[in-house]
Structure 1
Amino acid sequence: MSSKTFEGNYFEDFKMGQILRHATPRTITTGDVSLYSALYGMRFALQSSDEFARNVGYAGNGGLESAPVDDLLAFHVVFGKTVPDISINAVANLGYADCRFLLPVYPGDTLRAVSTVIGLKENSNGKTGNVYVRTEGVNQLGEPVLEYVRWVMINKRTPSPAESAPEAVLPDLPEAVRLEDLTIPEGLSYVTYESSLAGSDYMWEDYAVGEKISHVDGMTIEAADHMLATRLYQNTAKVHFNLHAMKEGRLGERIVYGGHVISLARALSFNGLSNAQTVLAINAGRHVNPCIAGDTVYAWSEVLDKAEVPGRDDLGALRVRLVALKDRTPEGFPYKTPEGKYDPAVLLDLDIWLLLPRRMA
């Protein structure tokens, strides 16, 4: 057989400082936005209404005054570019850190991605290793729209004894994105923000550190949902599509893309955080347990911190832990066991900065 095909990189193929320029730039269309809304039921006014977006200062691509696409749609498209080079041979995507949303993305924008290897650690089993990358997504003008760090467990091409493993190099990552490194969209003004259109009167001042919010609603994931979503992002990871690649685990189950759970939890968070129109940053995130088609996802949030934005009295930042659960409602807020381990119901533990309007005098 011809060897023109590419089977993807294994752990041994990654080197510190290696730069990976990912293929297939992707132009975001209004069709993508509609499909994304159909998959998750997003109801945030900013991404739903051109008029709402225009009234709070968004100019749109080329001055077309359209609503920006959902922050996480942009994230998934950029993430999907990286999969063939980074995680096609992955066992699991382990976590995220230092993710900043730098510019709004609009229908008509074209996104591409480049990643740099910033950490490597072979695991003690000699069969896998963890690869840390920093990925930057840029638009058609070469402007960075987002960047993030993720780490992923990747199979080795050839297992080897643990004593032969190279010295581990782990990146120094911040616990959270600093307030001064958060990017407020240019031109954004919440002075004339219409809370009735957003769906809630709860503003930045109404949330208290330590407060926990049950988002009440649940949504069952069907196999077609998560496979369609993953194809939307051009994510080619085998574990989401190919049953023959699932050599372990329960028969007939493909693992749901972790980003699908992130978007679903974010959509569910509308009920309780409907004025949190914008994700400014992902401070940290972990996919705690696998999600399988047929699982019903619920979500709750805990307010970790809140901060005024210097020079602005119309908006403020809210740091929130967003937790997704499977087949268990948020009542009692299952999170960790008395031993400090995650409750088996926890799917996702995501630490994010959100932007909210403030109550004007």
Structure 2
Amino acid sequence: MSKINMGNFFEDFSIGQKIIHPLPRTISEGDVSLYIAFTGSRFALHSSDVIANEMGYDKRPIDDVLNFHLTFGKSVQDISLNAIANLGYAEISFPNPVYTGNTVSMTSTVIGLKENSNGKSGVVYVHSIGVNQNGDEVLNFKRWVMVHKKDKETSTGMNEVPTFAESTPITEEINIPVVKCVDTDATGGKFFFEDYVKGERLNHPEGITIDDSDHTLATKLYQNNAKVHFNDHMMKSTPMGERLMYGGIVISIARAISFNGLQNAQWMYAINSGAHANPTYAGDTIYAYTEVLDTIDHKRDDIGLLRLRTIAVKNQKSSEIENPKGEDGKYLKNVVLDLDYTVIIPKKKTQK
């Protein structure tokens, strides 16, 4: 029996299969600092213990998207080591905050399998749950990934595709402390829940160019060892001709860019759905705009929620794009991310 893990191919998965992923990860201050270095994220709650204390925390929680990457990375060697591309996400929720010193781990269940018509690959759908060292759920999501087949000549006949909720449900209890006060001079933003309206569009002006070193080190930080991100020698022989950037990095960059206009939206409550519309490579410059899909009041009088849609574009200013899709219903070639997500933002009564 070989001691070498070559990763799972499409035929190695079965509906209902449960996978316990190895390599639990204890999160350090170094992880947090490196995440800021790779993304430029500026949300104050994750930058300052003082601000976190003012908002009701004993210490600052880590950025929810960093939690996603570090926990998600556990699943790569079992789910997507032989991936062609990570295609999308749905029903992502962040039930409890994560802090430095916490240890996260993950399990996944296969919920769908669909062989592609070319017979060379198939799409694997999984439901993954991340927990901390106490067993508290810190991440819950579904994703689908295109994976190579081992035997390209034999059809598996698999065609079982799960359905997904249109949006992640909002619970009555939200596990963040009561927001005591928000110092707008410290957070950098003057706008609160009541200031946003459905249909509003925010054209974020900043662009961020992602270098080879950025996405290589970030992917290593997340222990995401998918071949398409690491193996340049292999990727030069593919139609792409170079390494594909991990889609989660594009999510982080888009979220960092969205800071300008959403400075007080410190918490990522859920990702309702996400599509990596086109590949991203080293040297691409990412721009983004955000639409307010809905404003959602909550029984708590200190916070509300905004359902947002952030569109990330490469090598073109987002303000130049009116609609991410063309008349044929397909994404424009420079659109790289279509992310539907929900954030928590304080109400005006919390203003210091």
Shift of 1:244: 2.5
- Within the candidate set 177, 180, 184, 2:171 is matched to 180
1:136-175 pair list within 5 angstroms: 136-160=129-153, 164-175=155-166
Tell me how far apart the structure 2 counterparts of residues 53 and 185 of structure 1 sit (CA, whole Å).
15
Tell me how far apart the structure 2 counterparts of residues 249 and 199 of structure 1 sit (CA, whole Å).
44
Tell me how far apart the structure 2 counterparts of residues 315 and 4 of structure 1 sit (CA, whole Å).
52
Tell me how far apart the structure 2 counterparts of residues 287 and 83 of structure 1 sit (CA, whole Å).
17
Tell me how far apart the structure 1 counterparts of residues 100 and 16 of structure 2 sit (CA, whole Å).
33
Deviation digits for residues 43-72 of structure 1, max 9, x if unmatched?
1110001111111112xxxxxx22101101
Tell me how far apart the structure 1 counterparts of residues 62 and 205 of structure 2 sit (CA, whole Å).
25
Letter in 1 for 2:53: R
Deviation digits for residues 86-135 of structure 1, max 9, x if unmatched?
00001110000000001100000001110000111111111111110000
Tell me how far apart the structure 2 counterparts of residues 36 and 167 of structure 1 sit (CA, whole Å).
39
Asked if the contact 2:289–2:319 (Cα under 8 Å) also holds between the matched residues in 1, the reply is: no
1:67-146 pair list within 5 angstroms: 67-146=60-139
Tell me how far apart the structure 1 counterparts of residues 158 and 80 of structure 2 sit (CA, whole Å).
22
1:221-260 pair list within 5 angstroms: 221-246=210-235, 247-251=237-241, 253-260=242-249
Q: For residue 261 of structure 2, give the secondary structure of its aligned residue in structure 1.
A: helix
- Worse-matched range after superposition: 338-347 or 89-98: 338-347
2:59 matched to 1:66?
Answer: yes
Letter in 2 for 1:329: K
Shift of 1:191: 4.1
Tell me how far apart the structure 1 counterparts of residues 132 and 240 of structure 2 sit (CA, whole Å).
41
Shift of 1:304: 0.6
Tell me how far apart the structure 1 counterparts of residues 78 and 133 of structure 2 sit (CA, whole Å).
21
2:345 matched to 1:352?
Answer: no
Asked if the contact 2:56–2:180 (Cα under 8 Å) also holds between the matched residues in 1, the reply is: no
Deviation digits for residues 169-198 of structure 1, max 9, x if unmatched?
1212101012237x6224x22342222211
Q: For residue 46 of structure 2, give the secondary structure of its aligned residue in structure 1.
A: helix
Return the TM-score normalized by structure 2: 0.96
Letter in 2 for 1:321: R
1:301-312 pair list within 5 angstroms: 301-310=290-299, 312=300
- Within the candidate set 281, 291, 297, 2:280 is matched to 291
Tell me how far apart the structure 2 counterparts of residues 197 and 333 of structure 1 sit (CA, whole Å).
32
Letter in 1 for 2:9: Y
1:43-62 pair list within 5 angstroms: 43-58=42-57
Q: For residue 130 of structure 1, give the secondary structure of its aligned residue in structure 2.
A: strand
- Structure 1 stretches of 5 or more lacking a match? 59-64
Tell me how far apart the structure 2 counterparts of residues 130 and 43 of structure 1 sit (CA, whole Å).
35
- Worse-matched range after superposition: 337-346 or 312-321: 337-346
Tell me how far apart the structure 1 counterparts of residues 192 and 327 of structure 2 sit (CA, whole Å).
34
Letter in 2 for 1:229: A
Shift of 1:167: 4.1
Letter in 2 for 1:85: D
Letter in 1 for 2:78: D
Q: For residue 166 of structure 2, give the secondary structure of its aligned residue in structure 1.
A: coil
Asked if the contact 1:191–1:360 (Cα under 8 Å) also holds between the matched residues in 2, the reply is: no
Q: For residue 216 of structure 1, give the secondary structure of its aligned residue in structure 2.
A: strand
Letter in 1 for 2:303: L
**Structure 2 partner of 1:27:** 26
Tell me how far apart the structure 1 counterparts of residues 230 and 349 of structure 2 sit (CA, whole Å).
49
Shift of 1:313: 1.7
Asked if the contact 2:11–2:156 (Cα under 8 Å) also holds between the matched residues in 1, the reply is: no
- Within the candidate set 332, 336, 351, 1:343 is matched to 332
**Structure 1 partner of 2:181:** 192
Letter in 2 for 1:172: T
Asked if the contact 1:97–1:149 (Cα under 8 Å) also holds between the matched residues in 2, the reply is: yes
Q: For residue 276 of structure 1, give the secondary structure of its aligned residue in structure 2.
A: coil
Tell me how far apart the structure 1 counterparts of residues 174 and 239 of structure 2 sit (CA, whole Å).
44
- Structure 2 stretches of 5 or more lacking a match? none
2:262 matched to 1:263?
Answer: no
Asked if the contact 1:300–1:333 (Cα under 8 Å) also holds between the matched residues in 2, the reply is: no
Q: Percent identity?
A: 50
Letter in 1 for 2:145: V
Tell me how far apart the structure 1 counterparts of residues 70 and 257 of structure 2 sit (CA, whole Å).
21
**Structure 2 partner of 1:61:** none
**Structure 1 partner of 2:271:** 282
Length, aligned pairs only? 348
1:193-208 pair list within 5 angstroms: 193-208=182-197
Tell me how far apart the structure 1 counterparts of residues 50 and 42 of structure 2 sit (CA, whole Å).
15
CA RMSD of aligned residues (A): 1.4
Shift of 1:200: 1.0
